[in-house]
Amino acid sequence: MEYLGQYKAVYKAKAGCEDILAKSQDGGIVTAMFAYALETGIIDGAIVAGPGAEPYKPEPMIATTVEELFASRGTKYSVSPNLALIKEATRSYGLDKIGIVGTPCQIQAVRKGQLYPVGLRDVPDKIALALGIFCMENFPYQGLFQMVEDHCATKIDNVTKMDIGKGKFSVYTERGVNSQIPLKVTHKYEQPGCHVCLDYVANMADISTGSVGTPDGWSTVFVRSAAGEAAFNKAVEAGWIIAESMDGVKPGLELVEKLATEKITKNQKYLEHRAHKEHAALKPLRNPYT
Amino acid sequence: MSKVVEISPTTRHEGHSKLVLKVNDEGIIERGDWLSITPVRGVEKLAIGKTYEQVPKIASRVCGICPIAHTLAASEAMEASMGVEIPDDAYLLRMILQCGNRLHSHALHDILTLPDLYLPGTDIKVNPFSPEEPVRSVAKRIQTLRMIGQTVGEIVGGEAVHPSNPRVGGMYKNITPRAKAKIYDLAKQGIQLAREQMEFMIALEENYMKRDWAEMCGREVAIPQTLGYHNQGYMAAAPMYGSSSLDANPEWDPARWLEVRPWDWYMGEEEITMDDPAYPVGGTTKAGAKAWPQMQACTGVPLYDGQPVEVGPRARLVKYQNYDRKGAMGLNIARAMEYMDCMYKMIEAVDAIDTSAPVCADVIPQGDGEIGWAANEAPRGSDVHLAKVRNGKVEWFSMLVPTTWNFPVCSRALTGAPWELAEVIVRAYDPCVSCATHMIVLDENNKLVAQKLLE
């Protein structure tokens, strides 16, 4: 399964705690894992996408309590530069064991920082738990705002949840109104930088999680590294996470792999296009992978 | 008939310097010049026209051992010029940063100076890289002390080398309660190690003073009783932190300061007439070569009351604690004695910190060209920066760095020592030649092309 990265195990899972699930995007895996890791000392702080100055505009924050973690539940389909805090966490915050959640590109940055710490003194050995979330693409805040306010005709202040799934972008409000738009409408708002990304399920994370593959309210979880496996198994044992086999789950890993393949194939093509081999008149554009 | 011997480059200190020594027939120095041959980077000139935010960050890059001194002195010189008073908790964070840096710097200097010293009661010099005891555990202790100093610096300063947290007006960030607890823990670990290290170093340095000879170039060289004595006096601005022109009672007086060219203070052109290929490692400069300290010295010579003065640990102890030991080992002992102050001040400051208090001034005036200065007591002594800021831009900037003060003093202190031990005297000053080098600009033919215009 080259499109899904290396992993030791894959589960259908959700948080064991109703409080966490109440406002979680899917199965509450990230919140539950970090809460468990904080409570048991696997980490002493987690870099998460907290609430920002405007609704659904994420702002990276360092959570050192479960209450602070709760404030960061839910997907915000916009850019949260979580890596901006990676060094500060070891400085004025005084952390020794850092948890960090991020999209595939952010987990790549974490790993690159660990192996090639340019200006990241004392960071490499302080990353204790890197949780990755599946990511097809992201949007700049202005793009997201336009999708919600113009295309979905919904005031962004009233939105309680946003979701991309089944070919649609959906927004939900507290009063039960929801609107949907087809994903093809959103394409022009995507961050251009997402179009060269060759990672769908956060291949470099200790544990990756996302909604695709499992029913609503559940998450698909890849347990990848030894550190991830140890933490995840203990969290399951302690009841913070309920994990079940993926066997027979619909739509299951097949769909995850299909989407991963689509993303990687499409973006690989775009990378090849940037090389402009077919038009001698066009100079090739930089390729970060070569 | 005196001869001239040159040691170039000198070793086991920061930066690039050399010794030009006029010695008598017994090899005793009659007149010595220790001078910087580090290329001038000209930070003071390139600062002109830049913003007050940038200049302290550039000044920090003058030196990677004591970047804290330059960051803080430059920031505080800007603050003094602009009339910015920083919040108490910002000052406390800077104080902890200062203590952490001094701890690490003194411990690092121990590594540099140990190979000159003997294990008491033996004729064995200390090799800090040796895997043998007792040296191994000393080296480990030194590295642990440095780790503590650097980690504490990282927490309060944002970065151990070139601190990112200080800004004109205070600090960017306060620390969290967890970080405060971490500093306590590190200080608790450090206080015991610092005491052991201080006692160890003083024992070795006192032992050296009692010795009759030291082995150099494969022979026994007599150690004079007065190794490194001089009569230049001392200057210090504080026992631990520093002083600035904003203080009610400033501890430094710009009216007593004057900077002259090396011309007035160094030897003229000399021919090297003696060499010793046995000088470790690689020998001295070959006879027949020329040296011209007046032209080659890459520093200015700052004077206080018309004379070069010694700055550093001993100067601080002399001024504030009536310390009276002279000579090279007297200076080394003073440095060791500062270990405990670093730890106690660090604990006192972290105790006083309110982790939820603001750490940046509410209002930062942009400056009207008034002169301001700040002296930071760097590990090596008073680091005085002077600045004029107008409308947010630096109009004039000057750095009087500890080793710059010490260069001519140490040169005088060489007199009467066997030339083979000149570097032992130099090392006692814990020189930081990158720090010292500024302002005088030479072209490829060593001709003066620019020099400081005194205000």
Interval A100-119: pLDDT, tens: 999 999 999 999 999 999 99
- Find residue B220's DSSP bridge partners: B215
**Alpha-carbon gap: A91 to the closest alpha carbon of chain B (Å):** 4
CA B334 – CA B8 distance, rounded (Å): 28
Say what angle helices B88-113 and B327-352 make with each other, to 10 degrees: 150
- Chain B residue closest in CA terms to A87: B158
Asked if A121 lies within 8 A of B160 by C-beta distance, the reply is yes
> Which pLDDT does position B451 carry in this prediction?
42
- Give B175's contacts in chain A (Cβ within 8 Å): 92-94
Neighbours of B362 (CB within 10 A): 8
Q: Which residue in B151, B158, B160 is closest to A92 by CB distance?
A: B158
> Which pLDDT does position B455 carry in this prediction?
29
> Which pLDDT does position B438 carry in this prediction?
60
> Which pLDDT does position B9 carry in this prediction?
95
* Confidence tier at A142 by pLDDT (50, 70, 90): very high
Asked if A91 lies within 8 A of B160 by C-beta distance, the reply is no
Interface confidence (ipTM) of the complex? 0.91
| Helices within chain A (DSSP H only) | 18-22, 29-40, 66-70, 104-115, 141-146, 183-186, 226-237, 252-274
Residue of A65, A92, A97, A123 to mutate when probing chain B, most B C-beta within 10 A: A92
The greatest distance separating any two alpha carbons of chain B, rounded to the nearest whole angstrom, comes to 70
Token pair for B372: 């301001």
> Which pLDDT does position B439 carry in this prediction?
52
> Which pLDDT does position B434 carry in this prediction?
84
Determine whether B112 is exposed, middle or buried from the number of CB atoms within 10 Å of its CB (0-12, 13-18, 19+): middle
> Which pLDDT does position B453 carry in this prediction?
31
CA torsion sign for B109, B113, B118, B120 is negative
Interval A186-224: pLDDT, tens: 999 999 999 999 999 999 999 999 999 999 999 999 999
Interval B236-274: pLDDT, tens: 999 999 999 999 999 999 999 988 888 878 999 999 999
Say what angle helices B177-210 and B135-157 make with each other, to 10 degrees: 140
Q: Which residue in A92, A96, A121 is closest to B176 by CB distance?
A: A92
Token pair for B397: 């900037």
- Give B359's contacts in chain A (Cβ within 8 Å): none
- Chain B residue closest in CA terms to A85: B158
**Alpha-carbon gap: B180 to the closest alpha carbon of chain A (Å):** 8
For chains A and B, CB pairs below 8 A equal: 44
CA A35 – CA A66 distance, rounded (Å): 5
What single DSSP character describes residue B242?
E
Interval A233-290: pLDDT, tens: 999 999 999 999 999 999 999 999 999 999 999 999 999 999 998 888 999 999 999 8
pLDDT greater at residue B259 or residue A144: A144
Residue of B93, B176, B186, B359 to mutate when probing chain A, most A C-beta within 10 A: B176
Segments of chain B with pLDDT less than 70: 438-455
**Alpha-carbon gap: B144 to the closest alpha carbon of chain A (Å):** 15
Residue of B268, B272, B216, B267 whose CA lies nearest to B6: B272
Determine whether B179 is exposed, middle or buried from the number of CB atoms within 10 Å of its CB (0-12, 13-18, 19+): buried
Token pair for A58: 């994420």
Q: Going by C-beta distance under 8 Å and a sequence separation of 6 or more, which residues neighbour residue B336?
A: B106, B197, B198, B201, B202, B205
> Which pLDDT does position B447 carry in this prediction?
44
Q: Which residue in A93, A121, A122 is closest to B178 by CB distance?
A: A93
Asked if B155 lies within 8 A of A92 by C-beta distance, the reply is yes
Neighbours of B185 (CB within 10 A): 12
